[in-house]
A and B are shown apart, each in its own frame.
Chain A
Amino acid sequence: MSAVSIKGVSKQFEAGVTALQGIDLDVEPGEFVSLIGPSGCGKSTLLRIIGDLTKPTAGTVQVNGKPADRARRDHEYGIVFQDAVLYDWRTVSKNISLPLELLHWNRSRRNARIKDMLELVELTGFESHHPWQLSGGMQQRVSIARALSFSPSLLLMDEPFGALDEMTRERLNAELLRIWQETGSTVVFVTHSISEAVFLSTRVVVMSVRPGQIAGLVDVDLEQPRTNATRESPRFFELVTQVREQLAAAGARLGETQEPALVEDQV
């Protein structure tokens, strides 16, 4: 059974915008799949459809074999946005505890889990800080801890490190990989950074714009665990080039130049 199974999904907005057309994609349990493409190609929309935060106009989505709305109500996934979306009036601990409270976990069970989560994201000692007292990177780690606190099998991430500086981003990339391996969860990760997609993923889904379609898939066979040395390996460069060429080809097919919003980062 696939962790995520998307069949013939299209999405039209009322304004007449076709954000997605004919998307088919299966994500196997334990995979780390990145969606990459120029801005406006429907990456966020696709992620939100998987999370049943918006409905597709056509097609079906299943998560762990259940229809998307059922899966959402069964807390099958945790989500992380570009902004950490922490609640200001709650401390770090209380923010992590939010989904647990909604799931009616009792206090001692919550506290034990919060402690584990703080260790996982290396924020032990910050439990009673408020979000505004943390750096952007730390806030995003709290957000990840919150998404994982109730042990969902699927983690949806929408450009979670997009607002962070390069160094913080690379550190969090490594941390995310460690967490992914420790928890054994499935990750669907949206990014518009080619190197980030290649470094993190087991598979990269390249999307094209207007309408949003899947232009190609790149299997990333870099060996685990990945380290800084991975970023310097020849295979890494090959894969980055492959993704870049697919993106360019997707743009060319549509008779368009690549959007400037797509960062070609230094590798």
Chain B
Amino acid sequence: MSAIAVEPSNRGIAGALPRAAARALLLVVGLAVLWGVWEGYRWLGIREHWTWPFKVNDTNMPHISKIWHAFGQPLQPDGPPLRHYLWHYAIFTGKEALAGFVLGAAIGFFLAVALSQSNMLRRGFLPYIVVSQTVPILAIAPMVVVGLGTKGVSPWVSVAVIAAYLTFFPVAINTLRGLLSPDPEALELMRSYAAGRWKILWRLRVPASLPYVFSALKISATASVIGAIIGETPASLQGGLGYAIVNFNQYYSIQPANLWATIIVCALLGIVFFLAVVALEHIVLKRAPENVA
């Protein structure tokens, strides 16, 4: 996760411009390398007839240019191009993921706050929270959708709940670690001021936990997108990226580029979520670079 570490921000405006240019260059180089590896592997694989781990052919590894091209192709004759659909799917899934992310983060945070207040509570509840994540999401998803569905909850809410299920765990665990991170002396200082539980929580524990919270939010940001995509399938919810994946899967042998294009959009959505958290972290956290968890 070293790429996530926040750089020292006290270099001033003078350094900012070259730094932005360097980053842009790095991104371009990175993409070019990715493209080279893909096309290189493809070329070698086809020439050498590789079958392991998968058979390399036009279906399994279409040209990058083909995938790029697919974005502009209409799905139905005279219909709008694929990118039009994918854009709307991404917005749809993005909303579910965002709702799930916010819900999960809030639940995770307050759960951690509650657990930080008592050893007993911690010993009693923590094992169940860990166990909750060993249950496969694929098994939970239909139960949530059907269970909530019979109570008249609309399917997209169920999907958000599934996304929240994946989000809350890293937030709860990391926040708890952060809340418990102040050294004994920092706590004694508060005690010397006769500060109560509540003040110690808000003036010491919560601020001390924020780097931990953000490192969890970065994990959760992408997890919530995955959760939303997975959740759409059992919900048979049309209009999102999960639906598009299931749909394009059926046409994979004829139009593999469509599925690949969808996968790229899914990845982009995850990256957007991730970067949003990074941006928020930059705004909220102003502290020693080495203290970023």
Contact of A102 among B203, B210, B291 (CB under 8 A): B203
A102 and B287 contact, CB distance less than 8 A: no
Q: Which of B49-57, B162-170, B193-201, B266-274 contacts A (4 or more CB under 8 A)?
A: B193-201
B34 CB–A CB distance under 8 Å? no
B69 CB–A CB distance under 8 Å? no
Residues on the B chain within 8 Å of A51, using CB: 192
B58 CB–A CB distance under 8 Å? no
B287 and A130 contact, CB distance less than 8 A: yes
Q: A85-B186, A98-B203 are in contact. Are A79 and B192 (CB under 8 A)?
A: yes
B193 and A132 contact, CB distance less than 8 A: no
B204 CB–A CB distance under 8 Å? yes
Q: Which of A70-78, A114-122, A228-236 contacts B (4 or more CB under 8 A)?
A: A70-78
Contact of A85 among B185, B195, B286, B291 (CB under 8 A): B185
A53 and B188 contact, CB distance less than 8 A: yes
Q: Within A85-128, which residues are at the interface with B (CB < 8 Å)?
A: 85, 87-89, 98-99, 101-103
B168-200: CB near A (< 8 Å → 1, else 0) gives 000000000000000101101101111100010
Query: How many Å lie between the Cα of A72 and that of B196 in the bound state?
Result: 12
A53 and B191 contact, CB distance less than 8 A: yes
B193 and A89 contact, CB distance less than 8 A: no
A83 CB–B CB distance under 8 Å? yes
Query: How many Å lie between the Cα of A154 and that of B141 in the bound state?
Result: 62
A180 CB–B CB distance under 8 Å? no
B192 and A102 contact, CB distance less than 8 A: no
B207 CB–A CB distance under 8 Å? yes
Q: Looking across the interface, which residue of chain A has its beta carbon closest to that of B204?
A: A87
Contact of A81 among B185, B193, B207 (CB under 8 A): B185
Give the size category of A's interface with B.
20 to 34
B189 and A132 contact, CB distance less than 8 A: no
Residues on the A chain within 8 Å of B207, using CB: 87, 89
Give chain A nearest CB distance to B207 CB in angstroms: 5
Contact of B189 among A73, A75, A85, A89 (CB under 8 A): A85
Residues on the B chain within 8 Å of A81, using CB: 185, 188-189
Query: How many Å lie between the Cα of A85 and that of B207 in the bound state?
Result: 14
Contact of B199 among A75, A79, A85, A102 (CB under 8 A): A102
Contact of B193 among A83, A85, A88, A102 (CB under 8 A): A102
Give chain A nearest CB distance to B98 CB in angstroms: 27
Residues on the B chain within 8 Å of A101, using CB: 203
B192 and A132 contact, CB distance less than 8 A: no
Contact of B291 among A53, A98, A132 (CB under 8 A): A132
Query: How many Å lie between the Cα of A131 and that of B192 in the bound state?
Result: 21
A132 and B287 contact, CB distance less than 8 A: yes
Query: How many Å lie between the Cα of A83 and that of B185 in the bound state?
Result: 9
Residues on the B chain within 8 Å of A48, using CB: 188
B194 and A88 contact, CB distance less than 8 A: no
Give chain A nearest CB distance to B197 CB in angstroms: 13
A87 and B186 contact, CB distance less than 8 A: yes
B288 CB–A CB distance under 8 Å? yes
Give chain A nearest CB distance to B110 CB in angstroms: 21
Query: How many Å lie between the Cα of A78 and that of B191 in the bound state?
Result: 11
Residues on the A chain within 8 Å of B285, using CB: 89
Residues on the A chain within 8 Å of B203, using CB: 98, 101-102
Residues on the B chain within 8 Å of A77, using CB: 192
Query: How many Å lie between the Cα of A87 and that of B288 in the bound state?
Result: 11
Residues on the A chain within 8 Å of B183, using CB: 85
Give chain B nearest CB distance to A127 CB in angstroms: 15
Q: Which chain A residues have a beta carbon within 8 Å of chain B's beta carbons? A: 48, 51, 53, 72-73, 75, 77-79, 81, 83, 85, 87-89, 98-99, 101-103, 130-132
- Identify the 7 closest CB pairs spanning chains A and B, nearest first: A132-B288, A73-B194, A89-B207, A79-B192, A85-B185, A102-B193, A53-B188
A-B contact pairs, 15 of them (CB 8 A): A48-B188, A77-B192, A78-B192, A79-B189, A81-B185, A81-B188, A85-B186, A85-B189, A87-B204, A87-B208, A89-B207, A101-B203, A102-B193, A102-B203, A132-B288
Given contacts A79-B188, A88-B287, 10 further A-B contacts (CB under 8 A): A51-B192, A78-B192, A79-B192, A83-B185, A89-B207, A89-B208, A89-B210, A98-B203, A130-B286, A131-B288
